[in-house]
Each structure stands twice: as structure tokens, then as C-alpha cells.
Amino acid sequence: MECLVQHAVDYKGMPADRTETGGWISAALIAVIQLCEGFSTIGICVNLVPYLIGTLHLSSQVAANTVSNFLGALFSLSSLGGILAESYLGRYKTILIFALIQGLGTCFLSISTALPQLWPPPCDLEADSSADCEQASRLQMAAMYSSLYLMAVGTGGLLPNICVFISDQFDQKNDKEKAHLRQFFNCLFCLFAVVALLAVTLLVYIQDEYQRSWGYGVCSLSMLLAIFMFLAGTRSYRYKKLTRSALVPILQVLLAAIKKRKYQVPANIEVLYEDNPESSRIPHTRHFKFLDKAAIPTKDAFVSSTNSSVPDPWKVSSVTRVEEVKMIAHLLPFWATTILFWTAFSQLMTFSVEQASTMNRSIGGAFIVPAGSVAIFFVLPIFITLGLYGPVIKPIWRKLRGKPGLTSLQKIGIGLLLAALGMAAAAVIESKRLLVMRASSPSSSSSSSSSPLPITVLFLIPQFVLVGSGAGFMYSGQFNLFIKQHTRKGMKAIGTCIFLTTPALGFFLSSFLVSLVQRISTIRGGKGWIGHSINNGRIDCFYGLLAALTLADFEIFLFCAAAFKPQQKTEMEGVGSGASGVDRDVKTSTTV
């Protein structure tokens, strides 16, 4: 019996044998999917704006919104992928299906960028403005959008499932395997950091210097290879049985409370319904009293069976179940106040890359750094911040404050503040870039000549480092708050959904703000803050607006944090310890 893993089966549905299933090899075959998916998604996202503007001749606004909406859809679909895997398909089938969809998306993208029929006519490089160029037709844009959103569907299905399936390969009730799990995720974190750096350097270089379709073809082939490796491990994987969707209990509590909205909550809480064992109960709290009505036992809430009456979960919920929903409700203010961070973050994928494309990117006067490769300046800070938290930041904080580590709310607050500072720095740098542009071409402020401006791209480093470092703090803070600390085991899926919807809504909000700002700023016939190209707009004003909004959001967050009273006795520390300090953070998402 010691060789059998509890709550796990093999590919035949029999109890999983510890000696024949799971472990490092099985986990590695699954991890290849994550590495290849991250390589493709990061490498394509950071260099998509130059293609949309330079080849498809889209305006800055449309190009930025295309990337933001793609990322928003990707994270939105992650919630769906988690629910499908948990309640209907299982992790294995979900990963296989969505990996095929993701690979199909990159394949279509490679084809659409290789066929001249799917491009508009080449633009005259001597033209003064990209407005003289013919934009991509509806058919050409349809080919692009179908490829991108196939990728979004595929990646969205993979994002919440791969690392969970990896963790299923280790029995966390066995001390030896639990240690192996931690070691594996530390190694995976380091590998993913290397893959991300290769994506923003080597892959972007292939796209720019050789042919974009070649770069996307590399992504397609790597994903195909990863799928074959994943299939090769089918017999060695450990599988967990399907469970009921975590959304159902929340809906049951809400519906039961609404049905009994006219009832008064009894003063004696002992009257409220409770069917959980004493050891697993959650003490009743006085917050969100309306939800307590779901636990009021009524005559029609119980269905008679052979020897007893059985509660109808749609008409009555236990106090413990109601308290679990209250835990989720307590997190909503922090869910709302972290959305704007990802709106600021999205600028690094869009306008900042377009800024870089106009600046001097030469190294030693010979090598020209691709515009998309400047993303290395925010990819590195993310991994450095996450990696140094355990061995460096936490000990320093312990010496300065006598605390074991930064709390989740402190990490989120630092992330928001750094994002506000990053947007302020971006506004100043863009203002400087526009001054240089006007000085270098005084006859036409809207010049879009292919020659770079006499200002080095290194001026963009502050905004990338500030927001990238903020992303490291924000990511680990959100992960701990929404998934590890304040949601019980049965509600982890809901915490994951909350966690993943913040970047989704942040990217969608970015697209909405870009369109709204452009519409308002052109009311009196002006070119607007977000012009057809970055050189005839006022992106510095847009960055300044984002800095002000993020700073205001930070102040609202502080107010919510001051009023927040944790429902659990202990505040779990940041992201682990050790070399990487992110062994559990990688479990939900490493595509940032």
C-alpha cells in the first residue's frame, strides 16, 4: 500500500504506483509544453507592434489595442481553461487540446506573415507619414486576428493547468516527493527565465533580421515537438479525478441568500445551518450579513429521503460554505485596485516598443538592437525581483523591521507605487524624445523617417525597470493573497480565477483608455494624444494620465488595506525561499 499514491490514478484508471508514475521525468515532459508556450507567447507579443505598424500599416492606436486585446483575451480564457480541466476534461486532455490549438495558432500566424497576399502593398520608405500607406484589408486583418485569437484560446487553456498537472506528479503528503516538487519548480523557474530571455533576444532577432515567418515557424515547430514529448509520457503520468466546479457553491450561496432576502438573520447564530465536522468549520463572522441568510434553515430547504431529510444546496448553505464566500468577497476590493497595474504594464508591450523603434538602437555603431528586444529590460527585473526575494529582500526586511517578510498587501502596494513611478518616468522620457524629434526635423513634426532619432534607446530603461520590478512584487503579492492565504483548499480554483482576471481586465482597460483618450483629445479637430504614429501624438500626456490614475489607485488601495482584517490566523510569507524563491508562484502562470 505504501507504493500507492492517495487520490491519484494511472492512465488505466487504477491506483497510481509511486514507483512507476510521476516524478521528475513525468513533470519534465509536461513542463516542456509550458516552456515552448512561453517562448512563443512572449516572443510574439513583445515584437508584434512593429509588425502591425510597419507591415500592416495600422495606426499606433489600433496596433496598441490589438496587442492589449489579445493579452486580455488570453488571460480571460484562462478561467475557462481551469474550469474545463477541473470539472469536465481533466488536466491531461485539457492540456493536449489547448496545446494543439496554440500550435495551430502559431502555424497560421507563420503562414499569414509569409504570404504577400496577406499584406497590404509595401509602403514608400521615403514617405513623410505612414498615413500615405494603404492599410491592411479586412481579409488580411481577419487572417491576423484569427491566428492571434487561436493562440489566445490555446494559451488561455494551458496557463492555469500545466503547473497544476506538474504538481500532481508529486505526492505532497510524502516528505521526499514534496521536497522534489519544490526543487523542480525552482529549476523550472530558472529555465523559464532563460527561455523568456531567448524569446526577447534570439527570437525577436530572427523575426527582424531574417523573416518574421521564420521566427513564428520556430514557435510552431517547438510546440509540435513539445506535444510529442507530452504524449510520450502518457503512461507515466499521475491523474487526479474530476471535481465539481468551484463556481457552483458560490452560486448556491448567492441564490439561497436572494431567495431568503426577506428573512431576518437570527440573533443566535447557533440556529444557522451547519453540517461540517467541528474540525473543518469556519467560525461565523459578522461581515456581509446578507449572505448569512443563505444558512437560515427553512422547511422547503430539506428534501425527504428514506431515513432522513437531505438539504437542498440551492436553498440552504452551511455556515462554513457562507464564510468561504465571504472570504472571496473580502478580496474583491484588492481585485479591483490591482487591475490598473496591468493597464500600466501593457504599455511596455505596445507604445514603449514603438518608442524604441524610433530611437538609436545601435551598439558599437554596427549591431542594431531590434525594437522588440528592449523588452529584456522589463523581463529581467521581473525574474530578478522574484528570484532575489527569498535570499536577499526577505533577510534585509527582517533586519530593518523585525518582520519575517513582506506581507501580500505590502508587495501589492509596492507594485502599484513602482508602476506609478514608471509611468511618470515614461512621460518625462517621451517628452524628451518628442523634443529631440522636433529639433531633428523642424520642418515636419510628424516625420516618420526610417532613420533613428539622435537619442539612445537606453533612456527607456527606467520605465522598464520600474514597472518590471513592480510586476515581480505584484505577481507574488496577488498569488499569495488570492490563492494561498485567504481561500481554502476547495476554493483555490476561484482564487485562481480572481488572480487571472486582474491582468485580463487591465489589458482590456488599456484598450478602452487608448480609444477614449484619442476620441476626447480630438474633439476640437486636433491630432489627439495618440496620433496615427507615435511621432505626431502626445503619448507623454497619456503616460502622465496613467501615472496619475495609478497613483490615485494606490491611495485607494492603501485605504482598503488599512480597513482589511485577515480572516485567518497566520499571514503566510512571500514566495518561499531558496535560490529562486518562487517554487509555488510558477504554479499558476509564468507568462507575464
Instruction: Please write the tens of the pLDDT for every residue from 445-498.
Output: 444 456 788 899 999 999 999 999 999 999 889 988 887 765 566 667 777 788
Closest by Cα among 194, 562, 189, 180 to 389: 189
- pLDDT for residue 311 is more than 90: no
Percent of the chain with pLDDT over 90: 41
| All residues at 6 or more sequence positions from 370 whose CB lies less than 8 Å from its CB, including other chains | 47, 204, 205, 207, 208, 209, 361
Instruction: From the options 1.20.1090.10, 3.90.1150.10, 1.20.1250.20, 1.20.1560.10, give the CATH code of 1-243.
Output: 1.20.1250.20
Percent of the chain with pLDDT over 70: 90
The predicted model gives 514-529 an average pLDDT of: 85
User: What pLDDT does 445 receive?
Assistant: 45
**Distance, CA of 152 to CA of 453 (rounded, Å):** 35
In this structure, what C-alpha cell is assigned to residue 552? Answer: 490615485
Banded pLDDT at 268 (limits 50, 70, 90): confident
Tell me how crowded residue 252 is: count the other CB atoms within 10 A of its CB: 19
Closest by Cα among 532, 345, 522 to 426: 345
> What is the Cα 3 distance to its own chain's centre?
38
Ranges of CATH 1.20.1250.20 domains, the chain = 1-243, 327-592
- Reduced to 3 states (helix: H, G, I; strand: E, B; else coil), residue 569 is coil
Query: Are residues 325 and 257 in contact, defined by beta-carbon separation less than 8 angstroms?
Result: no
Q: Which residue has the higher pLDDT, 483 or 340?
A: 340
- pLDDT for residue 255 is more than 80: yes
The predicted model gives 92-112 an average pLDDT of: 94
Banded pLDDT at 442 (limits 50, 70, 90): low
User: What pLDDT does 583 receive?
Assistant: 39
> Amino acid identity, residue 408?
S
Banded pLDDT at 530 (limits 50, 70, 90): confident
Pick left, alpha or beta for residue 578 (phi over 0 → left; psi -120 to 50 → alpha; otherwise beta): left
Closest by Cα among 575, 572, 154 to 383: 575
Banded pLDDT at 578 (limits 50, 70, 90): very low
User: What pLDDT does 202 receive?
Assistant: 92
> Amino acid identity, residue 111?
I
In this structure, what C-alpha cell is assigned to residue 19? Answer: 514507483
- Which segment, 92-101, 284-293, 380-389, 485-494, is predicted with the most confidence on average? 92-101
Closest by Cα among 527, 529, 526 to 544: 529
User: What pLDDT does 7 receive?
Assistant: 82
Query: Are residues 7 and 240 in contact, defined by beta-carbon separation less than 8 angstroms?
Result: yes
User: What pLDDT does 126 receive?
Assistant: 41
Banded pLDDT at 574 (limits 50, 70, 90): very low
Tell me how crowded residue 87 is: count the other CB atoms within 10 A of its CB: 16
The predicted model gives 525-551 an average pLDDT of: 88
- pLDDT for residue 577 is more than 60: no
User: What pLDDT does 134 receive?
Assistant: 81
**Distance, CA of 413 to CA of 243 (rounded, Å):** 35
pLDDT in tens, 189-216: 899 999 999 999 999 999 888 888 899 9
Kind of pairing between the strands at 359-360 and 453-456: parallel
14: Cα within 13 Å, side-chain hemisphere: 9
- pLDDT for residue 37 is more than 90: yes
User: What pLDDT does 567 receive?
Assistant: 54
Closest by Cα among 103, 78, 82 to 91: 82
Pick left, alpha or beta for residue 576 (phi over 0 → left; psi -120 to 50 → alpha; otherwise beta): left
Q: Which residue has the higher pLDDT, 533 or 424?
A: 424
The predicted model gives 74-78 an average pLDDT of: 90
Closest by Cα among 417, 429, 409 to 471: 417
Instruction: Give φ, ψ of 428 to 5 degrees.
Output: -65, -45
The predicted model gives 107-126 an average pLDDT of: 82
Report the sign of the C-alpha dihedral through residues 528, 529, 535, 541, in that order. positive
The predicted model gives 336-340 an average pLDDT of: 94
The predicted model gives 422-436 an average pLDDT of: 94
The predicted model gives 308-328 an average pLDDT of: 86
Banded pLDDT at 584 (limits 50, 70, 90): very low
Q: What is the CA radius of gyration of the chain?
A: 26
Report the sign of the C-alpha dihedral through residues 306, 312, 318, 320, in that order. positive
CATH classification code of 327-592: 1.20.1250.20
Torsion of CA 172, 173, 174, 178, to 10 degrees: 20
The predicted model gives 402-411 an average pLDDT of: 87
What is the value of pTM for the model shown? 0.86
